[in-house]
């Protein structure tokens, strides 16, 4: 089958690798679409993804596909099911698996069957990722359904951060992830919700998505903007892009017992903290790889919002390209010619 590989020098290639094998607790999936993740895929290309050193690697983790074959003990999935988060198990054909969602075929595991047969956590062949491999409604568009991965990751992070109704929020970054924070904040009853970005067009998107206020942080006084709306500061500040300097900037924005939330993954893994502008009581929390069981817990809520029409995947996608054009898709992202999510489609 064909797949997308990146080598240690950051060179992307379409390669031929062996088809995945399945056992009695797993199912083979024909991939139909996979979203590009700036927080994972692009950093793997740049060798800046924390603690990853295994190259060449097969990229992609936001995949959706249909089950075409299943093992004898699988009960969670049926042939023809549309499923979320299939990945390539382990090294294959000399390539390491960085999830491998940009492959023509991948695998999902029935974690309940594995646990029933004594093959759960801690045993060979089991991955925590199996918890988040779920069936999705058959009428969902596979291209749009790739957004469920990001939706679940962001919502589960918001729950871990402790965000809830009637709390105030400032979000730095109005890309796909930042827009998710804004949309979910409104759906959860938070407010006021304030967006910051350096691109005016993105501020318009932020307002359309759910922000009550939006400011260009390259020209506005960020502290004055926040304190003018929330004199005591906001309950939460979110870095949705991965810029360490935002942590220090957020010190002067949070209220007493407020929280600075780092979700974006920065390639720089250290910095000098300066909390002279912070209140006496505050929290700094990093959630940059949500737990897969927490994503599972967020799944029904996300699907319900989508089926109710209050969360529309197309609002977060700007480009859809065929797998044959995947190298061009990555060039577009590197050159910042996309402003929201790019999705790769398999024919």
Predicted confidence at residue 268, as pLDDT, reads 85
Strand partners, 238: 171, 261
Domain shared by 130 and 163, yes or no: no
87: DSSP letter: B
Domain shared by 65 and 191, yes or no: no
Domain shared by 275 and 195, yes or no: yes
Q: Are 143 and 33 in contact (CB under 8 A)?
A: yes
Contacts of 193 (CB under 8 A, 6+ apart): 168, 169, 171, 182, 185, 186, 210, 211, 212, 213
Domain shared by 206 and 165, yes or no: yes
Q: Are 65 and 136 in contact (CB under 8 A)?
A: no
The edge-to-edge listing of strands for the beta sheet with 254-262 is 213-216, 193-197, 169-172, 234-239, 254-262, 282-286
The CATH number given to whatever domain includes residue 17 is 3.90.180.10
Predicted confidence at residue 38, as pLDDT, reads 87
Domain shared by 30 and 53, yes or no: yes
The CATH number given to whatever domain includes residue 207 is 3.40.50.720
Query: Which one, of 57, 33, 34, lies nearest residue 44 by Cα?
Result: 57
Predicted confidence at residue 126, as pLDDT, reads 93
Is 292 within a domain? Answer: no
Q: What is the pTM of this model?
A: 0.94
Whole-Å CA distances, 251 to 114, 242, 281: 46, 16, 11
Is 294 within a domain? Answer: no
Domain shared by 226 and 154, yes or no: yes
Domain shared by 21 and 129, yes or no: yes
Helix (H) or strand (E) segment spanning residue 302? helix 292-308
Averages of pLDDT over each 10 residues, the chain, 347 residues: 97 97 97 94 92 96 98 98 95 95 98 95 92 96 98 97 98 96 98 97 96 98 98 98 95 98 89 95 93 93 98 97 98 93 96
Which of 239, 270, 286 corresponds to the end of one domain?
A: 286
Overall domain count for the chain: 2
Which of 269, 286, 303 corresponds to the end of one domain?
A: 286
Give residue 76's region: left, alpha or beta (phi > 0; psi -120 to 50): alpha
Domain shared by 158 and 222, yes or no: yes
Give residue 46's region: left, alpha or beta (phi > 0; psi -120 to 50): alpha
Domain shared by 68 and 163, yes or no: no
3-state secondary structure of 293: helix
Domain shared by 105 and 154, yes or no: no
Q: Is the peptide bond before 56 cis (omega within 30 degrees of 0)?
A: yes
Predicted confidence at residue 121, as pLDDT, reads 93
Predicted confidence at residue 172, as pLDDT, reads 98
Residue 262 CA to residue 240 CA, distance in Å, equals: 7
Q: Which domain holds residue 262?
A: 150-286
Predicted confidence at residue 202, as pLDDT, reads 95
Give residue 90's region: left, alpha or beta (phi > 0; psi -120 to 50): left
Domain shared by 70 and 156, yes or no: no
Token couple for 284: 């700094």
Domain shared by 129 and 193, yes or no: no
């Amino acid at each position: 089958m064909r797949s997308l590989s990146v080598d240690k020098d950051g060179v992307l290639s379409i390669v031929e690798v062996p088809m995945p094998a399945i056992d009695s607790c797993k199912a083979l999936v024909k991939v139909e679409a996979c979203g590009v993740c700036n927080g994972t895929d692009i950093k793997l290309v740049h060798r800046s993804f924390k603690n990853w050193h295994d190259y060449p690697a097969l990229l992609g983790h936001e995949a959706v596909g249909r089950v075409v074959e299943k093992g004898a003990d699988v009960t969670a999935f049926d042939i023809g099911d549309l499923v979320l988060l299939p990945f390539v198990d382990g090294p294959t054909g000399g390539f390491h698996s960085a999830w491998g969602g940009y492959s023509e075929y991948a695998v999902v595991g029935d974690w309940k069957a594995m646990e029933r047969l004594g093959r759960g956590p801690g045993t060979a062949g089991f991955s925590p990722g199996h918890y988040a491999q779920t069936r999705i409604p058959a009428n969902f568009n596979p291209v749009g359904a790739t957004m469920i991965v990001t939706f679940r990751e962001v919502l589960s992070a918001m729950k871990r951060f402790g965000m809830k109704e009637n709390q105030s929020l400032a979000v730095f970054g109005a890309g796909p992830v930042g827009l998710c924070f804004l949309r979910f904040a409104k759906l959860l009853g938070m407010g006021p919700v304030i967006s910051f970005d350096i691109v005016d067009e993105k501020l318009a998107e932020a307002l359309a998505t759910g922000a009550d206020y939006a400011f260009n942080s390259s020209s506005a006084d960020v502290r004055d903007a926040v304190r003018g709306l929330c004199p005591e500061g906001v309950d939460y500040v979110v870095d949705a892009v991965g810029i360490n300097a935002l942590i220090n900037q957020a010190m002067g924005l949070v209220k007493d017992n407020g929280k600075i939330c780092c979700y974006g993954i920065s390639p720089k893994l250290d910095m000098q903290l300066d909390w002279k502008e912070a209140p006496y009581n505050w929290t700094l929390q990093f959630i940059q790889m949500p737990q897969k069981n927490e994503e599972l817990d967020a799944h029904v809520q996300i699907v319900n919002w989508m089926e109710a029409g209050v969360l529309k995947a197309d609002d977060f996608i700007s480009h859809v390209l065929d797998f044959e054009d995947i190298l061009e898709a990555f060039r577009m992202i590197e050159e910042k010619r996309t402003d929201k999510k790019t999705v790769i489609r398999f024919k």
